[in-house]
Structure 1
Amino acid sequence: MLLADLSRSLGLSPGPLGFALFVGALASMLAMALLGWTADLLGRRTFIAASAAVFGGGVAGLALAEGYAMFLAALVVLYAGSGLYDVGINAVAVDLELALRRRLMSLLHAAFSGGGVVGAVSAGVMLSAGTDYRLLYLLTLLPLGAAVAALCLGRLPDPPERRGPEDGGAGRRPLYRNGPLLLVAAVATLGLLSEGEMEHWSGIYLRQTLGFPALLGGSGVAVFYGAMALGRLGGAAFVARYGNRRVLLCAGPLTALGMLLSLAGTWPPLVVGGFLLVGLALSLVVPVAFSLAGELSPGRAGAGISVVTTLGYGGFLVGPVIVGGMAELVGLRLALGAIAASGVAIFFLALLLGRFVKA
């Protein structure tokens, strides 16, 4: 949402913006690959607090960026901190599921989507009221600090096993050669790739390509996040009835259909309605992938989910870069068709998974 204002302020076209997002994505992937294991070494609280501090520094850097070089540096810090923060938070979620023996991932991811709704609507309202986007960036540090404080002061479940860096690396390496698990990781990558593209480019598409005002542009993004939250809140019963793979078989085509509707015209109800369908369809893809990872790595669910998380979040970070490069060549409307293509690919990967998992 705020990225549209920041890129306009710096005079960035999709190409330079896409390159900056690529550099940030690379920084995040390197941070997760090189430092993610320290979540076990340092402990969850210390790891999350440290990564949140880096994350917050990147947010502040965006608020203060006056030129492309500073913008690029801020993105590197922001994405590195964000990637490590995601590793820590998902590790806590896995610990909680294992401790309580309950499927909570979809509910926890619903909270993330709900935060997206609140952020998009709040930003749209405040921008419409004339609030400077730089101040809005700084205001996001308040809920981040409150969430980290609550997490660090609260009681966290103990990980089922603690490993040093050498043992952790040796334990994960064979799973990177597990074919079915890599299929699941590919599904998660496509789902998160689509989420990342929607998060970074949908607001720019609505406000710059279609010329929607700030409030309407923000409401479109909020509808997507709201649909994600609702889909995840009600997802447990849906998955229990139809099974993980059948959910993916439905989610893929619905994602493609919703995105094509959004790109088919400029009528706001059609565009926003398409965003709604995309959000509902994508809402269960990543939680289901995490569940399948645990199913395919019995006794090593945490390690299996770490493989899917690392590869999947690479898609979340690289997706916006792909759209930026394509937008420079063919325009943003056609570039966002990559989300529809991802939906089709999820469908075919779910068909392949039929050889390894139940319905």
Structure 2
Amino acid sequence: MNSLFLLCSRSRYLAPAVVFSTINILFGTWAIYIPTIKNKLGIDEGTLGVAIFFMALGTITMLLSAPGIIKKLYVGKATAYGILGLLLVFPLLFVASSFYMLCFVMFFVGIFSGFTDIAMNTLVTEIEKEDGVHIMSANHGFFSLGGMVSAGIGTFFLTSITYPLYHVLVVVGIMIIVNALLVRNYIHIVSKEVEELSFNIRHFIPLFGLILIGFCVMASEGAIVDWSALYLEKVSKAKISWTGFGYTAFSATMALGRFLGDTISTKIGAKRTITLGTLVGGLGFIMVLLVDPIIAIAGFGFVGLGFSVIVPELFRIGGRAENIEASQGVSAIAGSGFVGFLVGPVLLGFLADISSLRLSFLALLLFAVVSFAMSFLIKK
């Protein structure tokens, strides 16, 4: 918990963590109003999926161009501009009057969220290098916490909120004020200069193992978000009132693990942290495949606990790779993870169609095994 103490005791470390939490506070608020927006526009789940694809398209666009923009703006300013842009664009989701306008706004939400994601992870990497601290995992813990708090509070007041736009404007207004008060703590930070080199694929070879792990872990996370409830209902035959407990257990242990992750990484190193995380996650999937609802729910919790520490460590290592900009390393990891997050649920749906959900989750266990094996190939 030393990293959590650092974040809470110094504004220099707290400010980036607030950016992390702000992004998921926004998306947690969006999540509870998806049915409302869907009904307002008269669209079905498939059409909504098309709109969400435009957000993915915007994010992927930024993954390719963000490193160059961050290098010109400097990482502190890039983070500040990114989160401000996202806060200003986000309310437009709730005033979209047509499906086409929703797609248009989704694209720009994807651009700003993708850009901010790369900038803020690069920013934390630079602070870690400058100060000799480990705070990456705790920052990702604030991200998880932001989504849990916003969705939890929003759901509690959902039935009493007549106009969702008012709720969103209040949330955005508060986050603009909070971020404005803290931005001075990081806006001046610049990335360490890397000698100008022509692009060489060999410089990215050490990252390929990390990229594969990022893909597998984020594919599993995306799959659990979309399919855990259905697995508990259809395979484990859990009570309907229990079907949400799988994702709840996963999210809770994910947040807890990320607040503990920096301490673990400091003691045993990033490489062993990733190995341990994939092992615990794999054991969690074995428990899920045992079918019994209580054991399966506990298994989802173990997956969240194990996988919680992996992505922050991937960003930390990617941001310190030799001969490439920190933002390029972070972008490569973020890109693979985002593609995995999108592909994971689709893959599970395909396997469920041709066989069963148990086969789908067996594939996720295989992803954990692959990640575990790849962790031994990471250089210290």
TM above 0.5: yes
Match of 1:104 among 135, 139, 143: 135
AA in 1 matched with 2:343: I
The whole-number CA distance in structure 2 between the counterparts of 1:110 and 1:312 is 18
Q: Which of 64, 77, 80 is the aligned partner of 1:49?
A: 80
223 and 117 in structure 1: CA distance in 2 versus 1, 3 angstrom threshold: farther
Q: Distance in 1 between matches of 2:210 and 2:186?
A: 31
Residue 322 (structure 1) aligns with: 343
- Aligned pairs for 1:74-223 within 5 A: 74-127=105-158, 129-131=159-161, 134-135=164-165, 136-156=167-187, 158-161=189-192, 170=197, 173-174=199-200, 177-198=203-224, 201=226, 217=244, 221-223=247-249
| SS of residue in 2 equivalent to 1:352 | coil
**Residue matched to 1:311:** 332
The equivalent residue for 1:347 is 372
Is the 1:263–1:333 contact (alpha carbons within 8 Å) kept by the matching residues of 2? no
Q: Which moved more, 1:329-338 or 1:242-251?
A: 329-338
- CA RMSD of superposed structures (Å): 3.8
Q: Work out the number of aligned pairs and report it.
A: 340
Superimposed CA distance per residue, residues 291-333 of structure 1 (whole angstroms, 9 cap, x where no aligned partner): 4336652xx5xx4643342122223433343245346643695
* Separation in structure 1 between the aligned mates of residue 172 and residue 59 of structure 2, nearest angstrom: 19
Question: Are residues 324 and 229 of structure 1, via their aligned partners in 2, closer, same or farther at CA, if it must alter by over 3 Å?
Answer: closer
- Displacement of 1:96 after TM fit? 0.9
Deviations 1:76-99 (A, max 9, x none): 111111011112212221221122
- C-alpha separation between the residues in 1 aligned to 2:178 and 2:291? 40
> Against the structure 1 CA distance between its residues 226 and 107, is the aligned structure 2 distance closer, same or farther, given a 3 Å change threshold?
same
Matched, 1:71 2:102: yes
Identify which of 199, 217, 236 aligns with 2:262.
236
Whether the aligned pair in 2 keeps the contact of 1:224 and 1:279 (CA below 8 Å) is yes
Cα distance, 1:48–1:239 mapped onto 2, change above 3 Å: closer
Secondary structure of the structure 2 residue equivalent to 1:37: helix
Closer/same/farther in 2, CA of residues 34 and 237 from structure 1, 3 Å limit: closer
1:224 aligned partner: 250
Inter-partner Cα distance in structure 2 for 1:31 and 1:178: 19
Report the alpha carbon displacement of residue 140 of structure 1 after superposing the two structures with TM: 3.9
Give the alignment's TM-score, normalised by structure 1. 0.76
Unaligned regions of 5+ residues in structure 1, if any?
none
Distance 1:45 1:147 in 2: 16
Q: Percent identity?
A: 20
Hey, what's the Cα distance between the residues in 2 that align with 1:133 and 1:94? 40
Tell me which residue corresponds to 1:34. Answer: 65
Matched residue SS, 2:90:
helix
Change (3 A) 1:44 1:246: closer
Structure 1 runs (4+) greater than 6 angstroms displaced: 206-211
Aligned to 1:159, what secondary structure does the other structure show?
A: coil
- 1:151–1:223 distance in 2 versus 1, CA, 3 Å: farther
1:33 deviation in Å?
A: 1.4
Letter in 2 for 1:311: A
**Pair 93,325 (structure 1): closer, same or farther in 2 beyond 3 Å:** same
Contact 1:117 1:223 in 2 (8 A): no
Question: Which deviations, in whole Å up to 9, do the C-alpha atoms of 1:37-72 show, x marking residues without a partner?
Answer: 222312345423332243234422332345432332
Using the alignment, how far apart are the partners of 1:29 and 1:290 within structure 2?
17
Asked if the contact 1:323–1:336 (Cα under 8 Å) also holds between the matched residues in 2, the reply is: no
Where structure 2 has 5 or more consecutive residues not aligned to the other structure, the ranges are: 1-27
1:148 Cα deviation from its structure 2 partner: 2.9
The SS at the match of 2:192 is: coil
> Which residue is 1:6 aligned to?
34
Cα pair distance change 1:278/1:32, threshold 3 Å: same
Distance 1:321 1:293, change over 3 A: closer
Shift of 1:185: 2.7
Rate the CA distance shift 1:249–1:343 in 2: closer, same or farther, 3 A. same
SS state of the match for residue 376, structure 2?
helix
Contact 1:3–1:204 (CA under 8 A) maintained in structure 2 = no
